[in-house]
Structures are given as C-alpha cells and as structure tokens.
Amino acid sequence: MSPWVAVRVALVAFVLLWILGPSELRSTVPLLLVFLVALGLEVNFLVGALRGAPARSPDRLPQEVDRGRYGFEREPDELVVVEDGDSEVWLAVSEEEDEEEDEADEQAAEPAPVPAPSAPIRRFLVGLGLIVVLVGAIWFVESRTGWDSLDRETKIEASDRFGDEASVIAGKPVSILCDESGDFVGAVQHTDGVAIVGGDHAYLTPERCLDLYRLAFDDEVTGSRTGRAIAVLAHEAWHLRGERDEAKTECYALQSGVELGERLGLSEDRARQLMRQQLTENALRGAGSFEYRVPPDCRDGGALDLDAGSSSFP
C-alpha cells in the first residue's frame, strides 16, 4: 500500500472510530491535531513527489524503491465509496502492480512518459478533499448528537439545574446560560466559560453544558471531560460569588467541584478523583495559562484549603 493510501485509510478509520467508538476517545484525542498531522503528511508526500519527479531519468520507469518512497506513480484503479450516515467518503484504491508486467515494461525499454507533475498534485487534492469530507462528516454527527440536538425544553431544564447548582456555590441566586451563539464563549475567546465577577449569570460553552447534562440527566461520565465541565461550572460560580483572582478561583472551584459532582450524581470517590485529576492537569499546564495555575497554597492545610478540618484535598 502506498503511503498516500495508507494515510487516508488510517484517517478514515480513525474518524469512524471517533464517531462510533467510546466517548473516552473523543475526550483524550484532540481531533484538530489528527487532521493537522494528516494534512502535514499529505503536504510532505506532495513535496516529496514533486522533488522526486524531475530527478528520474526520462527513459526508465521508477524503481521499486522510489515508488515505495514517493508513492505510487499511477492513478488509483478505482474509487470506493464508504457510506457514513448521510455523507459519503471516497477512497482511492490501487492494486499492487503486477510484477511480471512490471518487468516486461522495463525489458521493452520503451521511453516512458516523463511523470507529469500534475499527478502528485491531483493526488494531493484528492487527499485534501477527503479531509474536507471527513470534517464535514464530524460536523454533521456533532450537530445531531451535541448540545444543539437537545430540544428547547430539555435545554432550559438543564440550564436551570446548572443555575441551581451554581447558586449553591455562589451563595445567591444566579443563572447559567449555555452559549449557543458562540458570541461570549467558545472558539473566539478560547475559554470554557465567562462570568462577571460578582454578577448574577455566567455563560458556558455548549460542550461543557452537554457534559454536565449527560452527567446530571443520564448518569454518563465522559472521563476527564466530565471533571473539566464540573470544574468550569464551579469556577464561574466562584467568580459570581465575587472572587476575582483566577488562580484562587480555580483552587476553590476544584474543592467545591467534589460536592458539586456528588450533587450531579457522582460517588464521593469518583468526584474527588476527577477533581484531583483536574488539579494535576492544572499543574501540568504550560506557562501560557500562567494566571490560571493554582498557587502553592492550594493544598491540604494550605491558606486556600476551604475545609481545614478535612485531610482530603480536593
């Protein structure tokens, strides 16, 4: 199998697994990274093929080793359509060239056509097209299974529940809005939630709302993503309570997150485990999010320990 085909088959297989497989996969593998790697490989193959093509002597077919390195020098024999819901995925498939035929060609020593540079470019465009189709398929699936797929009543019921839980932490009635427009949180701001310090409402991204909904209404835990969603809800609630400092807010949120997680349906052990995981991930996060890094005081018996009497932290 040529590397062009191998990369595409692997990409399609991964996307199918991502759509159909366990939700843990969705929470652990950043999809954007996978597509960027696939795109990088396609570009790499293209550059390799374009560089390799002029170096070949015009009167000979490429050697086996070169074909292995630069990809197959032929058009795909056929296109295979893989059904994926309502969308179709096109795969280019090539049979291995017959060895005898290969030798016969070389013996005949007929002047082979100079490999047209357009062939690698065409292959590259096919790969690019495949990536676009897969991104479209994922967008389609997400729109059918995401927060947006819930009906209006359910969304309101869920938002009210989140608001009730946030009110417990904030110590006053507050409301939580799941920002579907993306105007406040999401792609642009790269944050999971937004709240005015001391205010009475906060916005969460639809992704976080969906994970909270799954936990509260379906008893479904999507690994560390559920932990993140709980931490984000608690974090915004602490802002609404009046805490301004990001690092302190996060430290308090991870502690309040244990009881919040329990109220949403987790066992105490599971809730603690998820919040500890968030604390570990917080410590591992780079300097890019320095202001969110919890301070050294955020430990059992430290100045930020909300429950000095308990030896559990968070």
Q: In terms of residues, how long is the chain?
A: 314
The site that binds Zn ion (CB under 5 A) totals a number of residues, namely 1
Cα–Cα dist 154/61, whole Å? 64
Rounded CA separation 56/100 (Å): 22
What DSSP line would sit under 233-291, residue for residue?
A: HHHHHHHHHT---HHHHHHHHHHHHHHHHHHTT--HHHHHHHHHHHHHHHHHS-GGGGG
CB of 191 to Zn ion, least distance (A): 8
Of residues 234 through 253, those in contact with Zn ion by CB under 5 A are 246
Nearer to Zn ion, 143 or 289 (CB): 289
Closer Cβ to Zn ion, 54 or 242, answer by number: 242
Shortest distance, CB of residue 185 to Zn ion, whole angstroms? 11
Helices (H), 183-245: 206-218, 224-241
CB closer to Zn ion, 8 vs 235: 235
Nearest CB to Zn ion, comparing residues 132 and 306: 306
Site string for Zn ion, 200-239 (x = CB under 5 A): ----------------------------------------
Burial of 271 from C-beta contacts in 10 A (0-12 / 13-18 / 19+): buried
Closest distance between Zn ion and the C-beta of residue 195, in Å?
7
Looking at beta carbons only, is 246 or 305 nearer to Zn ion? 246
Least distance in angstroms from the C-beta of 246 to Zn ion: 5
Residues that bind Zn ion (CB under 5 A): 246
